[in-house]
Structure 1
């Protein structure tokens, strides 16, 4: 810390040196400093759900229908809607009460865990949200009609939302990858956590139900992001 006594180094440079030192400790596994970043790390399991356009909502629920928030999610402005649909898979097997997440988007997308896809007869790729070209389609049924999706069924890649200050702390960029170390009795490290950076984001990792079960995740299990 002798550099802190050097009058030629200003406060911002000292802060940068401290951040670099913390990152080195995290990368070496010597201290869980990820929790001491600018924002607390939250890890949540994302259960199967769908995102729909306003046009598709009206096809399924009637002309002019607007989604109704049921539960607000951790990310600002995102919610689980009161509305749900029935998904019909290629083997004519169904998932009822598939929750819609709002607000509406400009594309339709269904996110399933691997076991969901297998039970329905899907072979779905691991994709980032919005990357739906060449993915399987499905049929959705609502109280007012049917929606045939030609594509859009995916297994969502595990990912982390973060603000620019979080990205600076961890030393990562948008669309890069990190690792998530999950403690507990099983002790699993996910090697490819896709990074999404936006000023509106809160620091949150999303894994699906299969991934959560595999690593024995619960809110009491310590988790650490690693570059």
Structure 2
């Protein structure tokens, strides 16, 4: 027999996790006139950090704390945030860090964020940061000045290997994605990340 509290409460993270699992279960392999369906989500401004930069910004020995799993297996939004400062000395406070850590730190901004900061930001595939502008990252324990790494992420689609196989694509391929809704749109030439 399972014992439950008389007045159970669920926090936001738990509820989001439950909803995400239900949506994924309902859409995996679902047929809609012979078409498989994907869960589509968007990503706001965020930062990827190296282990070294995590320690500089948050203190020696600190590691990222997973807050919410992302749709791509093994990736998560961390509890930690940083402030981004641009050459105009304008800032974006509380920008979310995504984990796990990476070999090179990188900042992904929207076009309007970059304009506000005074950064002429190129469109690049994630990880392709050579020759890109930098910025300053401010954390509770320190500051990191990036000489490069600020990009506007090229439009892309993350999917599981299973979904990639279903759609006949592989990592690095290009595809079109048609979103069927009351405001239908087709996104063309998306980079596949599987």
Instruction: Give the 3 Å change call, closer, same or farther, for CA 165–100 of structure 1 in structure 2.
Output: closer
* Residue 53 (structure 1) aligned with residue 54 (structure 2): no
Which of these residues, 86, 106, 110, is aligned with residue 113 of structure 1? Answer: 110
Moved more, 84-93 or 172-181: 172-181
User: Per the alignment, in what secondary structure is the counterpart of residue 190 of structure 1?
Assistant: strand
User: Per the alignment, in what secondary structure is the counterpart of residue 119 of structure 1?
Assistant: helix
Q: What is the CA distance between 1:174 and its match in structure 2?
A: 2.4
Instruction: Give the 3 Å change call, closer, same or farther, for CA 155–95 of structure 1 in structure 2.
Output: same
User: Per the alignment, in what secondary structure is the counterpart of residue 117 of structure 1?
Assistant: helix
- Aligned twin of 1:34: 35
**CA distance in structure 2 between the aligned counterparts of 1:112 and 1:66, rounded to whole angstroms:** 23
Report matched runs for 1:71-220 at 5 Å: 71-197=68-194
**CA distance in structure 2 between the aligned counterparts of 1:168 and 1:103, rounded to whole angstroms:** 25
Alpha carbons 1:34, 1:41 under 8 Å: kept: no
Q: What is the CA distance between 1:185 and its match in structure 2?
A: 4.3
Alpha carbons 1:128, 1:156 under 8 Å: kept: yes
**CA distance in structure 1 between the aligned counterparts of 2:188 and 2:144, rounded to whole angstroms:** 36
Q: What is the CA distance between 1:54 and its match in structure 2?
A: 0.7
Residue by residue over 1:91-123, the C-alpha shift from the partner in whole angstroms, topping out at 9 and shown as x without a partner, is 111000011111111110001111111111111
What's the TM-score once normalised by structure 1's chain length? 0.67
Alpha carbons 2:72, 2:159 under 8 Å: kept: no
**CA distance in structure 1 between the aligned counterparts of 2:183 and 2:150, rounded to whole angstroms:** 30
- Aligned twin of 1:70: 67
**CA distance in structure 1 between the aligned counterparts of 2:191 and 2:34, rounded to whole angstroms:** 20
Give the CA RMSD over aligned residues.
1.7
User: Per the alignment, in what secondary structure is the counterpart of residue 175 of structure 1?
Assistant: coil
**CA distance in structure 1 between the aligned counterparts of 2:183 and 2:127, rounded to whole angstroms:** 32
Residue by residue over 1:61-84, the C-alpha shift from the partner in whole angstroms, topping out at 9 and shown as x without a partner, is 111111111112222221111110
Structure 2 gap segments, 5+ residues each: 1-31
